[in-house]
Amino acid sequence: MVNREEIEYKITNMYAVREDEFVQYVGQDIGQVSMKATAEKWYTLFHASFYNLQSELSLNLRRERPMILMYFQKKGISAFKADQTFFIPEHTHSLNYLEEFRSTYNLSKGSNIEHLCVKIEPHQFLETLMDTRDDDIVYNFLRRQEGFVTMNAPRHFTPMIHQSLYDLINNPYKGGLGKCYRENIVRNLLVHQLAVFCDAEKALMPEDSKLHKRDIDLLHDIKNYLDQHFLEINSLQDLSRKFCINSFKLKYGFKKLFDTPVMKYIDDQKMQYARLQLQYSDINIVDLADELGYNHQNNFTTAFKRKFGYTPAMVR
């Protein structure tokens, strides 16, 4: 029978090496523990779950060379102890550049936790980039000389992240196609996280006399609000009143900062949410249309098909 120490050793070792591997432990004295590692040339993807643990686990994680760590907490709350203890809540993510990594991952008895993380090898990823410039956000992040840690300030999942993690876990392809599909998702997630955590939008935005710093800060607050409360906003006027900003500045500034109209951003969030609901739940399409603010199911169906190329009914 496998004991706690053996599980801790195995899982810790999987985090340390770059190899394809899958382990699963199930038992009354253990609970359910599973870990899958997928190693590619410039990154390693880990998908771990710990359900109904019957005793605590302590994983001593170590790495002596630089890495980029993309972390996604799907279920439960994870606790990492280094110089300080970081608690990462459910449905949040963080992006980190670590010159070295020393942390203890503590899982308490009764835990129900699931997470995905991606370890990127900066120098090997740089070799895959073509025609980069010194002012390129991705290029400069990969060539950092100092640490960058956001585990103490994770951000909530957007529908795009929910969908990307679903696609990673349920990769429909094998072999070379599966590898290409997975790599594209990892790249997209990295770009998304860079935009969120490194203020890439600000860095790319030219000076604009129409937008002051307080306007830019407010627009970022609005975007963060919409990532969590997009279902509550049905019109530009609703959003303008809520944040006491005139509609022109809201439309102009949001488009300038984030390169998309604000109402389109809300609609895109709603469509991603709708697809997730259709994939994960048995919600009625009529009820879903009503939740999204559509007066008629046909209007929702038309908008959904315009976005994804297929109708809501075809998801199931």
Alpha-helical regions (H) of the chain: 4-16, 122-126, 137-142, 159-169, 175-197, 200-204, 213-229, 236-243, 247-258, 262-280, 285-291, 297-308
User: Hey, what's the torsion of the CAs at 262, 266, 272, 275, to 10 degrees?
Assistant: -140
Q: Verify that 212 and 305 share a domain, yes or no.
A: yes
Tell me which amino acid residue 305 is.
K
Q: Does 231 lie in the same domain as 151?
A: no
pTM: 0.69
Predicted pLDDT of residue 246: 92
Q: What is the CATH number of the domain that holds 276?
A: 1.10.10.60
Please name the residues in contact with 41: beta carbons below 8 A apart, sequence gap of 6 or more. Answer: 124, 128
Any residues with CB less than 8 A from the CB of 255 and at least 6 apart, and which? 261, 262
Same domain flag for 9 and 45: yes
CATH number at 112 reads: 2.60.120.10
Q: In this structure, are 31 and 157 located in the same domain?
A: yes
CA atoms within a 13 Å half-sphere pointing along the CA-CB vector of 147: 8
Q: What residues does 88 pair with on adjacent strands? A: 78
Contact 304, 274 (CB under 8 A): yes
* Residue 164 zone, left/alpha/beta (φ > 0; ψ -120 to 50; rest): alpha
Is there a single domain that holds both residue 177 and residue 264? no
Residue 286, domain extent: 205-315
What's the number of domains the chain is made of? Answer: 2
User: Could you give the CA distance from residue 20 to residue 24 in angstroms, rounded to a whole number?
Assistant: 14
Provide the residue-wise pLDDT of the chain in tens; the chain has 316 residues: 678 899 999 999 999 889 999 999 998 888 999 999 999 999 999 999 999 989 889 999 988 889 999 999 999 989 898 877 888 988 999 999 998 888 999 898 888 999 999 999 998 998 887 666 655 777 778 777 778 888 888 888 888 899 999 999 999 999 999 999 999 999 999 999 988 887 644 544 445 557 888 888 899 899 889 988 999 998 999 999 999 999 999 999 998 888 789 999 999 889 989 988 898 788 999 999 999 999 999 999 999 999 888 999 998 7
- 218 and 81 housed in the same domain: no
